[in-house]
C-alpha cells in the first residue's frame, strides 16, 4: 500500500476519533448513532495509523507532501 495521507490529515483524523470515542464512552451520544460514531472512530484511527485511506485511492487523492 502506498501512503496517501499527510501529517495534518492523520492528526485531524486522530482528533476526530478521540472526540467521538469520548462522546460515546461518557454517554453523551448513545444508541445507533453512538455505535456508528464509534465504528467511524475506529476506522479513522486505523487509517491514520497505516497512513492509507482506501477512499482516496480510486480518486487519486493524496495529502502527502511532495518529496524532493
Query: How confident is the model at residue 2, as a pLDDT?
Result: 85
Query: How confident is the model at residue 68, as a pLDDT?
Result: 57
Taking only the tens place, the pLDDT of each residue in 11-31 is 999 999 999 999 999 999 999
- At 67, is the pLDDT very low, low, confident or very high (cuts 50, 70, 90)? low
Taking only the tens place, the pLDDT of each residue in 37-65 is 999 999 999 999 999 999 998 998 888 88
Query: How confident is the model at residue 23, as a pLDDT?
Result: 96
Q: Which residues of 36-59 are buried (b: 16+ CB within 10 A; e: fewer)?
A: ebbeebeebbebbeebebeebeee
pTM of the entire structure? 0.85
Amino acid at each position: 500500500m502506498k501512503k496517501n495521507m499527510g501529517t495534518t490529515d492523520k492528526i485531524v483524523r486522530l482528533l476526530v476519533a478521540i472526540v467521538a470515542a469520548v462522546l460515546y464512552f461518557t454517554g453523551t451520544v448513545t444508541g445507533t448513532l453512538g455505535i456508528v460514531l464509534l465504528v467511524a472512530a475506529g476506522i479513522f484511527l486505523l487509517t491514520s495509523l497505516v497512513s492509507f485511506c482506501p477512499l482516496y485511492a480510486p480518486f487519486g487523492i493524496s495529502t502527502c507532501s511532495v518529496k524532493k
